[in-house]
Amino acid sequence: MAMIDHSVRDFDLLHDGFRWSIPERYNIGVDVCDRQPGDALALVCEDHLGSVARYTFGDLRNHSNRLGNALAALGVTRGDRVAVIFAQRPEAVIAHLAIYKLGAVALPLSVLFGPEALEYRLANSRACVVLTDEPRAAQVEAMRDRLPHLEHIVTCAGVGEGPFWELLAKGADSSPAVDTVADDPAMLIYTSVTTGPPKGSLNAHRCLLGNLPGFELSQNFYAQTGGLFWTPADWAWTGGLLDALLPTLHYGKPVLGYDGQGRFDPERVVDLMARHGVRNAFIPPTAMKMLMQVPDTALREVKLKAVMSAGESVGERVVEWAEQALGITVNEMWGQTEFNYLVGNCSAIMPVKLGSMGKPFAGHWVDVIDDQGRPLPDGECGELAARTGDPVQFLGYWENEAATQAKIRGEWFLTGDVGYRDAEGYLWFVGRQDDVISSAGYRIGPGEIEDCLIRHPAVAQAAVIGVPDELRGEIIKAFIVLAPGVTPDKQLTGDIQRQVKRQLAAYEYPREIEYIETLPLTTTGKVRRKELRDRDLATRGEGGV
């Protein structure tokens, strides 16, 4: 198993001396649940009304066994995709563990998704079962005739109520665990790309083990010092699932789940962390900036030991505030859905350089390379690349071998991020090679939004870019060419924005819209996004509605 030597208190020595020991046979569900003491607290879930439910590892073992056997009775077999559409509530955890034990593939989907985003992912993955709450079930039911592979929609209402729990009760409590090998697929997580629809990153059971060294170090030796863990990150995303929920359970420590109905209320969050005694957290930079609005008197009740932050650049202001208000040094981290938890900081044993992503964690080799795949000298900008053969590396893009191979150059996995390494081995992020937008921790591809925009009857053409924003890192800006005879006004702008919110997700709508007569195009008809970015910089504050 991937374990850090806690006697070594030198980051570079830990990295150079680390060796992977990945078992041939491994199952995430069995690992994070079945091998833990049954009476130990595993999960605390609070909803927006303040109701709290607690579960031991024994509870999770029993519930996931029953659900796994019940899903098998419905016909779910090894390799089948099962969608999980829940907020941070106990059904999400139980569902994931049951699916892993069964040898099926979990398809985590955000409760923020609108119908178009849901339908594409369910259709592309050919999911056979959807486990969700009542509002999302109604959405899925409305598209069911276009999902020929979907056989069952299983819903729940309140905790312990509804068909989900009725189905679970019918299953035997014996373990349904199949004999999975570490390379067997465990989860399919869709990630945004520059052009076209999102791609499904198929990750193996071993990916959890690959995440552990970075998780341990970014939480300042979590196995020894860690406690109750919380993150506002959706458990449907890599950040919430593999950077928080599953590694915490692996170490036999409890996780706090909070269903805030899609709202991040900084004062409520501070109260939540204080009341439950949260000791460790993954808090994205945008959420950290929102916490800065809370009075210091309330923050004094929060007793965090370590915080990791990722998804966008943390920034010096946030780090300085956290040291003053929370008494901690934020450990920035960098990774991707396809190849996660690669680089970061461990303030317990290394100096944190403000603005730097940190250094490669133990078990991972990351370098800056040129177009030929050759490592570049210190200080020179190039593409950040990770050495292949790493247990955290994805299996590939779902049914897209060409896209998978395009990510590999020789021994390197290409991340698409540009950066450089300084003389002390710290890595610095400069930007993206492609046009993926990083907003409030979400990676957003422009193609899906543009497709949604041009479905509006008033829109003839549309192009989307990310523009700088102090709170979210970037926000989405749309450049729109209107249909003949349409005049732009605030009502039209609001209508276009609401369409994207409804059809895709609330975090994907363009917060800024600029109406233009023509889009700048290449000779092959592609949008010149750099020209749009230059235009935005030159006309900031002008031309939008």
Look up residue 374 and give its DSSP letter: P
Structure tokens belonging to residue 227: 């406690």
The count of C-alpha atoms lying within 13 angstroms of the C-alpha of 187, restricted to the half-sphere facing its C-beta, is: 30
CA proximity to 106, closest of 98, 115, 118, 114: 98
Helix (H, G, I), strand (E, B) or coil at 317: helix
Helix (H, G, I), strand (E, B) or coil at 220: coil
Look up residue 393 and give its DSSP letter: B
Sort strands 359-360 and 339-344 into parallel, antiparallel or unpaired. antiparallel
Element (H, E) at 386: strand 382-387
Task: List per-residue pLDDT tens for the chain, 545 residues long.
Answer: 547 888 999 999 999 999 999 999 999 999 999 999 999 999 999 999 999 999 999 999 999 999 999 999 999 999 999 999 999 999 999 999 999 999 999 999 999 899 999 999 999 999 999 999 999 999 999 999 999 999 999 999 877 789 999 999 999 999 998 999 999 999 999 997 666 789 999 999 999 999 999 999 999 999 999 999 999 999 999 999 999 999 999 999 999 999 988 888 999 999 999 999 999 999 988 788 889 889 988 999 999 999 999 987 787 888 989 999 999 999 999 999 999 999 999 999 999 998 899 999 999 999 999 999 999 999 988 999 999 999 999 999 999 999 999 999 999 999 988 889 999 999 998 777 767 788 887 878 787 788 789 889 999 888 899 998 888 889 999 999 998 899 999 999 999 999 999 999 888 999 999 999 988 875 445 678 888 988 998 877 554 44
Q: What whole-number distance in Å separates Cα of residue 338 and Cα of residue 82? A: 20
The whole-number pLDDT of residue 439 equals: 84
Helix (H, G, I), strand (E, B) or coil at 400: coil
Domains of the chain with CATH codes? 56-204 (3.40.50.12780), 441-538 (3.30.300.30)
Distant-in-sequence contacts of 531-535, Cβ < 8 A, 24+ apart = 532/463, 532/465, 532/479, 533/465, 533/467, 535/479
The count of C-alpha atoms lying within 13 angstroms of the C-alpha of 394, restricted to the half-sphere facing its C-beta, is: 31
Q: What whole-number distance in Å separates Cα of residue 102 and Cα of residue 242? A: 19
The whole-number pLDDT of residue 4 equals: 87
Q: What whole-number distance in Å separates Cα of residue 3 and Cα of residue 9? A: 14
All residues at 6 or more sequence positions from 521 whose CB lies less than 8 Å from its CB, including other chains: 527, 528
Q: Are 183 and 203 in contact (CB under 8 A)?
A: no
396: left (phi over 0), alpha (psi -120 to 50) or beta: left
Look up residue 353 and give its DSSP letter: P
363: left (phi over 0), alpha (psi -120 to 50) or beta: left
pTM, 2 dp: 0.85
The whole-number pLDDT of residue 261 equals: 87
**Chain-centroid distance, C-alpha 157:** 25
Q: What whole-number distance in Å separates Cα of residue 528 and Cα of residue 456? A: 22
Q: Are 430 and 381 in contact (CB under 8 A)?
A: yes
Distant-in-sequence contacts of 457-461, Cβ < 8 A, 24+ apart = 457/483, 458/482, 458/483, 458/486, 458/492, 458/495, 458/496, 459/483, 459/496, 460/484, 461/519
Structure tokens belonging to residue 271: 């109260």
Q: What whole-number distance in Å separates Cα of residue 473 and Cα of residue 264? A: 17
Spell 19-31 as b/e; 16+ CB within 10 A means b.
Answer: eeeeeeebbbbbb
